[in-house]
Structure 1
Amino acid sequence: MFEKIKVLVVDDSAFMRKMISDMINSQPDMEVIDTARDGLDALEKIKRLNPDVVTLDVEMPYKNGLEVLKEIDKEKTQVIMLSSLTAEGSAITIEALRLGAFDFIQKPSGSISLDIEKVKDDLVEKIRYANAHIKRRRIKPLVRYEALTSLENNQKPIEAILIGASTGGPKVLFELVTQLPKDLDLPVLIVQHMPAGFTKAFAERLDRYSSLKVLEAQDNVIINKNHVYIAPGGFHMLVNRNRIKLDLSPQVHGVRPAVDKLFLSAAHEFDGRLLAVILTGMGKDGAEGIKAIKQRGGITIAQDEVTSTVFGMPKAAIETGCIDYVLPDKEIANQIVKIVRGRS
């Protein structure tokens, strides 16, 4: 008999607690061990029950989701935030991801969402990934990868840096972008899988702490050096003649924005004069783009398995055979600077 994933559901609405619990309990591999009505109630039950995963409402009385998150031992319990799309809620959610929340789910229609069933598949999938992450993070690294491919001395000079990320990405991106120097002298274009409304808050928080100018990308803007452009939720971000083009074509790999759309577009526009990075995330988005960039002479980096929240996207990129470096999250910014400085 397998051990079920133990989940604590935290929400100040009795209706939401019941609906979320029913969705989770309908799955054969997980169960709700209890619910909590506010932040203080949640902290007491987390300490007493030791759940594997907590679904945590962002906006609650006494202690909000962010305050609760700060007191949770994230080595033992993973947290999935549930957020309504408000200016305050999205800002708190972005800060929660930076502080180590595993991921978040957007409530479809506000704090009390009668249509919460719409996010059932997404929620249960993230609970499974969160539980797997707890087990995997205890594994010690066995191999250090570096320079997997043969780098040639006559490669083209880099003209732009591209980064793709999904689950776990906001925390890594915060550390990475804020470590980049103000005289990087290159533009940085980022696709982070995130719904519309949250990317603006994400860009604003990054901008507050970064030496570079960080902004949510807008259609037809000129791509400037020492600027970081975040693809807005709901739009693919492409490049054409040194301008950003926002695109509403269908989802790729079930997401929009998609990393592959940016990478493939940029590979053509910059003819491989690129440094492309794939960070933590579910699925395989970015792998095709990595191949195109490498085939045109670019340099590529993937986050390693041990530091990835979900080793899906980096693994798919590595399996193409087109990754030059596989590195822990905290070493990627330094490697970017070394590559740029060495070839500028």
Structure 2
Amino acid sequence: MTPPQARRVRVLVADDSALFRELLSGVVADGPGFEVVAVAADGHAAAALARQHRPDVITMDLNMPEADGYAGIARIMAETPTPILVLTGNPAEAVGFRALSLGALDILEKPHATTDLETYGRQLRSRLRLLAGVKVIRHLRGLRAEGEPPPRRTAGTDLVVIGASLGGPRALVSLLRGLAPAFPAPVAIVQHIADGFTEGLAAWLATETRLDVREARDGDPLAPGRIVLAPSGRHLVVADGAARLSDAPPFETFKPSVTPLFLSAAREHGARACGVILTGMGRDGAEGLRAIRAAGGPTIAQDEATSAVFGMPRAAIELGAVDRVLPLEAIPGALLELTR
């Protein structure tokens, strides 16, 4: 079997600017093991070329004439499901996250005039190789069983902490739509995403769910119904009824990392904390989720069938950190039951 790093990654580049298509193609092809198999000037052309060339991964601009990136993503995911990396010029804008709800897997800022292209190229190619290994069509059964017992009863959950990575924005919007504005517990979230995108993600989640979602600031009170999201480059933890931001070193290579949030929830709230691990690659959050379970708090993992990537949930399950494995659509109901 060919080692993963030795496999050639075949890329389709979609952007309406001929200059940017040329620049991006050069940046991609500059790395060993990468090949640009086609370029497209709009979403419909990207969908047609995806059918023709069957690339491993696609980079997709959003603002294109004729058919924009959203139309292209919708067609590709319906006709030739392929991992898609969205490239956007403004990470603070919420509109880019609509692409993730349509099936794109990840989002990254476009290079600009002052960008070091060598550094950017390494980051881009690393992301493309990661995405190229994701199977976006899943034929795997979930791990849930018929007749699964109801959530473990505690003294009453008063904090929900959630961790997610690849595929997480789409999962988060689905989960949060199932919670009412009067949800009786605060929610704290760590989502692995490129630096600079958490403000836009929070704004998008707030618009899509009509909930009080905000990027966390140090000292923000943890109020019922309020949802705080870890900002880029800082760990989010909870202490004394408030969100706290930490500049501690990366954990499991991530900053923010899910595990510090979960560990602080176990320490501060014990059996009254509920931990939820969603789709993502790697094992970040598994140790922290085990700490919540050891403290008596209920723990939930998204199942395999509804996860874009089952890495983080699988790691937590294998560690014995999970009470219940649920399809994404069942998690809001479980949280409502736990907070009654």
TM-score by length of 2: 0.87
| 1:194-273 matches, cutoff 5 A | 194-273=193-272
State the AA in 2 paired with 1:206. L
Cα deviation code 1:203-242 (max 9, x no counterpart): 1121123253111111111111111111111211111111
Q: Does the C-alpha gap of structure 1 residues 104 and 306 become closer, same or farther in structure 2, counting only changes over 3 Å?
A: same
Which residue number corresponds to residue 22 of structure 1? 29
Match of 1:78 in 2: 83
State how far apart, in whole Å, the 1-side matches of 2:114 and 2:88 are.
Answer: 11
The answer to whether the 8 A contact 1:301-1:327 is kept is yes
Give me the whole-angstrom Cα distance separating, in 2, the residues matched to 1:62 and 1:115: 32
Query: Which amino acid in structure 2 is aligned with residue 141 of structure 1?
Result: R
Distance 1:151 1:331 in 2: 12
Identical pairs, percent: 36
In structure 2, the gaps of 5 or more residues are none
Counterpart for residue 144 of structure 1:
144
Question: Any idea what SS the aligned residue of 1:302 has?
Answer: strand
Unaligned runs of 5+ in 1: none
Matched residues in 2 for 1:244 and 1:150: separation?
30
The aligned residue for residue 7 of structure 1 is 11
Could you say if the C-alpha distance between residues 285 and 141 of structure 1 is closer, same or farther in structure 2, counting changes exceeding 3 Å?
same
Aligned AA (2:223): N
Judged with a 3 Å threshold, the aligned counterparts in structure 2 of structure 1 residues 327 and 35 are, in CA distance, closer, same or farther, namely same
Cα deviation per residue 1:296-330 (whole Å; 9 max; x = unaligned)? 11000011122211221111111111200111222
Distance 1:160 1:142 in 2: 27
The answer as to 2:32 corresponding to 1:31 is: no
Q: How does 1:302-313 map to 2 (within 5 A)?
A: 302-313=301-312
Q: Measured at CA, do residues 62 and 248 of structure 1 come closer, stay the same or move farther in structure 2, by a change above 3 Å?
A: farther
- The count of aligned residue pairs is 332
Bigger mean CA offset, 192-201 vs 226-235: 192-201
Taking a change above 3 Å as real, the CA distance of residues 211 and 104 of structure 1, as seen in their structure-2 partners, is closer
Distance 1:120 1:288 in 2: 33
TM normalised by structure 1 equals 0.86
Q: Residues 333 and 61 (structure 1 numbering): CA distance in 2 closer, same or farther, change over 3 Å?
A: same
Q: CA deviation at 1:142?
A: 6.4
- CA distance in structure 1 between the partners assigned to 2:26 and 2:115 by the alignment: 9
1:37 CA drift (Å): 4.0
- How many Å apart are 1:14 and its aligned residue? 4.1
Look up the match of 1:51: 55
| CA positional deviation for 1:47 | 3.8
| 3-state SS of 2:308 partner | coil
Q: What is the rounded CA distance, in whole Å, between the counterparts of 2:339 and 2:246 in structure 1?
A: 29
2:291 and 2:122 map into 1 onto residues whose CA distance is: 32
Q: Do the aligned residues in 2 keep the contact of 1:146 with 1:325 (CA within 8 Å)?
A: no
SS at match of 1:33: strand
Partner amino acid, structure 2, of 1:82: L
Deviations 1:261-316 (A, max 9, x none): 11111211112311110001111111111111111110000111222112211111
Please state whether the residue corresponding to 2:237 is helix, strand or coil. strand
Q: Residues 149-160 of structure 1: matches in 2 within 5 Å?
A: 153=153, 155-160=154-159
Matched, 1:101 2:104: yes
Q: Distance in 1 between matches of 2:262 and 2:23?
A: 39
Shift in alpha-carbon separation, 1:257–1:202, aligned structure 2, 3 A: same
Native 8 Å contact 2:28 2:125 kept in 1: no
